[in-house]
Structure 1
Amino acid sequence: MSVKKKIQVEKVTDPIKLEEVFAIRTQVFVIEQQCIPELEKGFEDESVHFLATVDRAPAGASRWRETTQGYKLERICVLPEFRGLGIGKGLVEAMLQDLPSDAGYIYLHAQVQATGLYENFGFVKVGSPFGEAGIMHCKMEKNVIADDQIN
């Protein structure tokens, strides 16, 4: 009999919770995926950070930030032992709900194997796959204004 796990995603600004966010990102991107540590950090002060927990244990992290192009979702990751529980979906939902109501252009650089997650939220691939931090990515975008005009 499986026990239902309590998954929670929250926006974090508290330094202790931010350290949990950074520890998850280090574990997934630097240790597991062997990204260069210097490439993983950056834009922290101008980003809005999220922490996902499972039964209060840190499990996933993400952030969004405003760029000159629009709003970029970034650093979406889940620790291996918590994958398959819907945490990535929860992180994306939380970020999209948190964006300003006038966010007209939202984009991200998705690792190729994760594009399906973002397609479920209406993101579409743009251009050809490219290497970033030694991993193949696809640029994906979601034009919220265009989506609203269709309905």
Structure 2
Amino acid sequence: MPGKIQAKKVTDAADLEKVFAIRREVFVGEQNCPPELEWEHEEESNHFLATVDNEPAGASRWRETDKGYKLERFAVLRKFRGRGVAQELVRAVLADLPADADYIYLHAQVMAVPLYEKFDFQKTGPEFEEAGIRHYKMIKV
């Protein structure tokens, strides 16, 4: 039975450490992303922590770039995958964007494209590689 899933914006050091620990485990540990590529733009980003029954389960962030608003670093710990954690993170991040956010985009790992399509993101352009992982740029329509 799935537990209670919550995703919220976090700013305090203890919660941010949980966010970074999840990202380290998923991106650096599982996906072999170089730590220096995984760890960038932290200060200008808005970070989110997802929990299942108050246990850290997932993380994500958004930041404003020169192109618009970029959603990034969606990561869910292996034991919580397939339970709706990523969807709750996407909902929380989208709800937190400024009301005038008119260009919202992300770089989706190929396997995650169907998740973002549920939230009206569409692939644009060819597949590309980022940090050794196949991605598509997706734009919210």
TM-score (norm: length of structure 1): 0.92
CA deviation after TM superposition for structure 1 residue 4, in Å? 4.0
What do residues 21-57 of structure 1 show as CA deviations (whole Å, max 9, x unaligned)?
0000000000000000000001101000000001111
Matched-pair identity in %: 64
Q: Which amino acid aligns with 1:118?
A: Y
Q: What number of residue pairs does the alignment pair up?
A: 141
Pick from 94, 99, 116: which aligns with 1:96? 94
* Structure-2 residue corresponding to 1:9: 7
Which residue, 39, 42, 59 being the options, matches 1:41? 39
* Matched position secondary structure for 1:45: coil
Q: Secondary structure at the match of 1:91?
A: helix
Per-residue deviation, residues 102-129 of structure 1 (Å, max 9, x unmatched): 0000000000011000011000000000
Aligned partner of 2:137: which letter?
A: K
5+ residue gaps, structure 1, are 144-151
1:119 to 105, 117, 120: 117
C-alpha RMSD over aligned residues:
0.7
SS at match of 1:113: helix
Counterpart in 2 of 1:83?
81
> Which structure is richer in relative contact order (CA contacts within 8 A, separation 6 or more)?
2
Separation of aligned partners in 2, 1:50 and 1:23: 13
Bigger radius of gyration: 1
Residue 70 of structure 2: which of 64, 72, 75 is its match?
A: 72
Q: CA deviation at 1:142?
A: 1.1
Which consecutive unaligned segments of at least 5 residues does structure 2 have? Answer: none
Q: Normalized against structure 2, the TM-score is what?
A: 0.98
Secondary structure at 1:88's aligned position in 2? helix
- 1:10 and 1:130 mapped to 2: Cα distance? 30
Cα 1:4–1:83 shift into 2, 3 Å: closer
2: CA distance between counterparts of 1:116 and 1:125? 10
**d(CA) in 2 for partners of 1:106 and 1:91?**
15
| Equivalence for 2:25 | 27
